[in-house]
Chains A and B, each alone.
Chain A
Amino acid sequence: MMKILLVEDNPELTQNILQYLTQEGILCETATTCYEAEDRLLAFAYDCVLLDLMLPDGNGLDLLQLIKSQGMKTSVLIISAKDALDDRLRGLDLGADDYLPKPFHLAELLARLRAIYRRSKLEGSDELRFGEILIRIQSLEAFVHDKALDLTKKEFDLLVFLMVNKNKVLSKQSIATHLWGDYTDDLANFDFVYQHIKNLRKKICAAGGKDYLSTVYGLGYKFDENAS
């Protein structure tokens, strides 16, 4: 089971993240200040730290430096509203594993977290399985009933994203942001997501897979285990 420390001073945001990650079976502890986080980091071991940079008693980057200087075996995912580029670069320079600018979609956070976890802990065995669907992330391969699927890069990304966030409703926006990045997320309003989903569904079904993808009242899409 993955165990993480969430360092974030906004209680509402903390609650949102906590709820989403806990549902996914991730053990989540929280700290609201640098001081508190330092305490916890020195006392317990975590797989990953979700680190906000603007904290009431200091900059999260100092915490990152502490983690690296102490040689702690924890990954760091920076979540910051300061999308100032320098912070992004500095964070990555200091050894952060990833940088997710606020505001992010919870689904995106989970996907990044899983990716970091796979890289750092599950070396090699980067397989995702979902019923008859098997994905090898490193080699960008997807199989249905052990038959290789011919997916484009984006379709593959989409499938991973859906599978990591299985049984959750994913908004079109969160999918668009995941696929095309920050400055093109209004592409969600132009039916591109729908067409990608449609193509992916077609390919899975053609390979004999079950149709797990469902639409939820125009809100978004869901990769549903219990799909009929």
Chain B
Amino acid sequence: MRLLNLLTAIYLLLTLGALVLGGFFIYLKLESEIEFEVGNELKDQIDAYAARIQSGVDPKDLENEKLEIQNLPFHFDEEELVIRDTMAYHEPVNRIEKQLKASKSLKINGKHYRISYFNLVIEADDIMETVVYIMLLVLLVQLLVIGFFFRRIANRILLPFQNTLNRIQSFSFQKDEPLSFEKSKIREFNQLNSFLERMSIKLLRDYRQIKEFSENISHEIQTPSAVVRGKLEHLMNQEITEEQAHLIHSAYQSNEKIQRIVKSLSLLAKLENEEFEAPVPIKLDLLIRRNLEHLHELMQLRQIRLEIDLKSDYSVPMHPYIAEVMVTNLLSNAIKHNQERGWIMVLLQNDKLEILNSGQRLSKNPEDLMDRFQKESSHPDSVGLGLAIVHQICKTYGFQFSYSHKDQVHHTAVSFR
């Protein structure tokens, strides 16, 4: 939901609430005001009639449908003015209507009269109708105001916010530029913007540090590890016993493994940090053919039959080095985890690359093998990062990667869109 729409909706809702509540109070107030005014009027009328009786007019002559005069025993106390609702016949409309009746007793010229005077009051329904009518009118005006002015003004007020949003969305670590905003007249927006500016500067700094760290860590580990390798290679060339050879061998193997892990992890880190931008269109069929040529002898050695069907001349925008790593990993994976006299099928159609190969039955869920350090146990020296790297490459470029197996057939697929 857009912020502006939410604001409009809330504003409307509040207005509606205020109108209903206001209408209710206006209704109450109107009603009591009318009763008060009518009451006053009735009292004046009674006083006027009393004055006329006093001046000698016969009460009987005065009586009409609105006026009622009763004689009361003289010794009764004078009654105060009483006003109450009553239902009475109303001649003009010829029916019983709600009327207001005021009555008061007075002792005039030695006689005691109770003078009651009726008057028609405006009905609640009528008041309600008027109130609702007026309120609806007000609401309509409000709607027009909101539609034309409020939204336009709010849009203008929110414009710096919208600008800020756009800037944030176009923020990229590769551009290496902190966010910067124009000064706004609104203090809160300036606070937000300056916070974002500081934040982006810090983010970029942290990002650079992580990047340097991932570069340095590979350097810092690989240097001593390279020293170890060199020493072991020297040791290999000394006069050694078979027992020593085994010790050297296992130390050497472990050291090699460390180097492979560090290399792969630093590649993964670089992919995650999206350090490989500037993609160029890669001709996949050419890349695959070149790699297959490179790995050709490996397949011959294991007598693996190769079938290829590279139909498409599809180009994928990728960093050339990453494309190379992806294809190499996929193909050498298919060779490594194959069997003697097995087969590999490489299919490239439109925007989908599929590699099928024979191989041992998996004990693990194939999806798990995409995770880091997950591998089939039959090759203890394999690091288990190959598929994780392909997986990460696909994630980085937004490709679909899947890996499954069925009846000793392994199936990897990358769909480039």
Interface residues of A (CB under 8 A from B): 10, 12-13, 16-17, 19-20, 54, 81-85, 102-107, 152, 154, 168-169, 171, 173-174, 180-190, 192, 195-196, 199, 216-220
Contact = CB atoms under 8 A, between A and B. Distances in A.
B381 interface: yes
Given A54-B219, A182-B263, A190-B379, A103 B245 contact: no
Given A12-B227, A16-B231, A219-B249, A189 B381 contact: yes
Given A187-B298, A190-B336, A217 B246 contact: yes
Interface in B253-275: 256, 259-260, 263
A82 B301 contact: no
Q: Is the interface of A mostly helix, strand, loop or mixed?
A: helix
Interface string B332-351: 10001000000000000000
Contacts, number: 114
Contacts of B233: 16, 20, 105-107, 169, 171, 174
Contact of A219 (B231, B248, B301, B336): B248
A171 B383 CA distance: 18
23 contacts: A12-B231, A17-B230, A81-B223, A82-B219, A83-B218, A84-B215, A102-B219, A103-B223, A103-B226, A105-B229, A171-B233, A173-B256, A180-B298, A182-B263, A183-B325, A183-B329, A184-B328, A186-B336, A186-B383, A187-B336, A189-B379, A190-B379, A219-B245
B230 A106 contact: yes
B237 A81 contact: no
B219 A81 contact: yes
A224 to B, nearest CB: 11
A162 to B, nearest CB: 14
Nearest to A84: B215
A185 B237 CA distance: 22
B225 to A, nearest CB: 6
A195 B227 CA distance: 29
B294 interface: yes
Which of A17, A173, A199 gathers the greatest number of chain B CB atoms within 10 Å? A173
A152 B329 contact: no
Nearest to B267: A183
Given A81-B223, A171-B233, A196 B263 contact: no
Contacts of A102: 219, 222-223, 226
